[in-house]
C-alpha cells in the first residue's frame, strides 16, 4: 500500500459524516479532526485498491490493512491510526452501515506509555534564570518560560493567550484548551511579576504601532507562533546543554510533577492541566514515585543493607 500524499483525494460520504460527528457532537479540536481525516483517507484508499465496499469490512480486512501499514510507520503513529479507524467503525456500526463485528483488540496494540522526562526544580530554575537582561526579547523569553512552568499551559494555549484573558489582581488566566474547553489557571507570584513586567515594558516596544490582542508577540510585533515559542525554549535550553530533552511540553511535565511532589492533590493537577480524564494525569504519579524512591533510599535507615 502506498503512502503518498492524500491531498488530492476525497473522503466518502460515510467518512465525511463521521468527521462532522466528531467535530460537532464530540467537540474534537480542528487539528484532531484533520488527523482523523488523513487516517481515514489511508483506510479508504486501501479499500478502493482492494475493491472492497465499506459494508464488507470485517476483522480480517482491517488486520490486512494494518499489516501493510506497518511498513514505514512508527508504533505511535500506528496506534493513532488504530484509534481513528476504531472510532470510525463504531460510528458505522451505530449507523447500521456495517453489521459484522470488527475486533481491533489484537490489532496494533497501543505502545506502553513512556514516562516523560522531568528536570529537577533546580534545573528548571537554572533554565529560567539563564535569561536575564532588560531588552524586549529577553523579557519576553523569560516571561514565556515562567508562564509555561508556572501554569503548566500547553504551547498552543500560551500562544493563543490574549491580554484580556489575564486578571493580574486575582492572579489568574483564562485558557482555551483542547476541544475549545476553557479553564482558569492561577498565576504564581513569579509568573505574574515577570509577565506584568514584559507586558508593560517590553511588549509595547515589540508591537510598536501594530495592534495585537495576543500576549506574546514575535520580534516584528505579530502573534507568536507555536514554532516560534518552541524555538525560544530550545535555544535557551541549548545554552545549558539541555536542548536534547527540553521542550515546552517538558516544562508542563515539570510543573505537574513538582506540584505532586510538593503535596498537591491529583485532581487539582488534573484541573490545572486541563485533562479530561484523570487517567492521563496519573502518569505523573509514576514520575513522582521515582522521586519518592530516591528520598526513601537516602532517608530511611532500613532502605538498604548497611555494613557494620
Q: What is the pLDDT of residues 220-268, one digit of tens each?
A: 999 999 999 999 999 999 999 998 889 898 999 999 989 888 888 888 8
Residue 63 has pLDDT above 90, yes or no: no
Residue 1 confidence (pLDDT) above 60: no
Per-residue confidence (pLDDT) for residue 291, from 0 to 100: 59
Across all residues in the chain, what is the average pLDDT? 85
Catalytic residue, from 18, 46, 88, 284: name it. Answer: 284
Looking at residues 111-115, what average pLDDT do you find?
A: 57
Q: Please tell me which residue in 178, 183, 226, 234 is annotated as part of the active site.
A: 178
Q: Which of 73, 90, 249, 291 is catalytic?
A: 249
Q: Does the active-site annotation cover 154?
A: yes
Answer CATH for 13-94 from 1.10.3470, 1.10.150, 3.30.70, 1.10.1760: 1.10.150
State the catalytic residue, choosing from 82, 142, 253, 275: 275
88 is known as an active-site residue: no
pLDDT band at 300 (very low <50, low <70, confident <90, very high): low
Is 252 a residue of the active site?
yes
Is 275 a residue of the active site? yes
Which residue has better confidence, 210 or 106? 210
Tell me, yes or no, if 183 is annotated catalytic. no
- Neighbour tally for 186: CB within 10 Å: 13
Q: Would you state the pLDDT for residue 308?
A: 44
Confidence of residue 113 (pLDDT cuts 50, 70, 90): low
Residue spans per domain, the chain: 13-94, 121-297
Catalytic residue among 28, 80, 154, 192: 154
142, 252, 253, 258: which is the annotated catalytic residue?
252
- Domain 121-297 part of CATH 1.10.443.10: yes
The 3-class secondary structure across the chain, one letter per residue, is: CCCCCCCCCCCCHHHHHHHHHHHHHCCCCHHHHHHHHHHHHHHHHHHHHCCCCHHHCCHHHHHHHHHHHCCCCCHHHHHHHHHHHHHHHHHHHHCCCCCCCCCCCCCCCCCCCCCCCCCCHHHHHHHHHCCCCCCHHHHHHHHHHHHHHHHCCCHHHHHCCEHHHEECCCCEEEEECHHHCEEEEECCHHHHHHHHHHHHHHHHHHHCCCCCCECCECCCCCECCHHHHHHHHHHHHHCCCCCCCCCHHHHHHHHHHHHHHCCCCHHHHHHHHCCCCHHHHCHHHHHHHHHHHHHHHHHCCCCCCCCC
Q: How confident is the model at residue 5 (pLDDT cuts 50, 70, 90)?
A: very low
Amino acid at each position: 500500500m502506498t503512502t503518498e500524499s492524500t491531498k488530492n483525494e476525497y473522503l466518502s460520504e460515510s467518512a465525511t459524516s463521521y468527521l462532522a460527528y466528531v467535530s460537532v457532537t464530540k467537540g474534537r479540536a480542528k487539528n484532531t479532526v484533520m488527523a482523523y481525516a488523513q487516517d481515514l483517507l489511508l483506510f479508504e484508499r486501501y479499500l478502493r485498491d482492494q475493491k472492497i465496499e465499506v459494508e464488507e469490512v470485517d476483522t480480517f480486512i482491517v488486520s490486512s490493512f494494518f499489516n501493510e501499514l506497518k511498513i514505514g510507520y512508527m508504533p505511535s503513529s500506528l496506534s493513532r491510526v488504530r484509534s481513528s479507524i476504531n472510532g470510525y467503525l463504531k460510528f458505522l456500526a451505530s449507523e447500521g452501515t456495517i453489521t459484522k463485528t470488527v475486533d481491533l483488540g489484537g490489532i496494533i496494540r497501543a505502545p506502553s506509555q513512556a514516562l516523560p522526562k522531568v528536570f529537577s526544580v533546580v534545573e528548571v530554575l537554572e533554565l529560567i534564570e539563564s535569561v536575564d537582561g532588560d531588552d524586549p526579547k529577553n523579557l519576553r523569553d523569560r516571561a514565556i518560560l515562567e508562564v509555561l512552568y508556572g501554569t503548566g499551559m500547553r504551547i498552543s494555549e500560551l500562544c493563543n493567550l490574549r491580554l484580556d484573558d489575564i486578571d493580574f489582581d486575582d492572579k489568574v488566566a483564562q485558557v482555551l484548551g483542547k476541544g475549545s474547553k476553557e479553564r482558569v489557571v492561577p498565576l504564581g507570584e513569579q509568573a505574574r511579576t515577570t509577565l506584568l513586567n514584559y507586558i508593560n515594558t517590553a511588549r509595547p516596544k515589540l508591537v510598536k504601532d501594530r495592534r495585537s490582542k495576543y500576549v506574546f508577540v514575535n520580534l516584528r510585533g505579530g502573534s507568536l507562533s507555536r514554532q516560534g515559542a518552541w524555538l525560544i525554549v530550545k535555544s535557551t535550553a541549548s545554552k545549558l546543554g539541555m536542548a536534547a530533552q527540553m521542550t515546552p511540553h517538558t516544562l508542563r511535565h515539570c510543573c505537574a510533577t513538582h506540584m505532586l511532589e510538593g503535596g498537591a492533590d491529583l485532581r487539582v493537577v488534573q484541573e490545572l492541566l486541563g485533562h479530561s480524564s484523570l487517567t492521563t494525569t496519573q502518569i505523573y504519579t509514576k514520575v513522582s514515585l521515582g522521586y519518592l524512591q530516591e528520598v526513601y533510599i537516602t532517608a530511611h535507615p532500613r532502605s538498604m543493607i548497611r555494613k557494620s
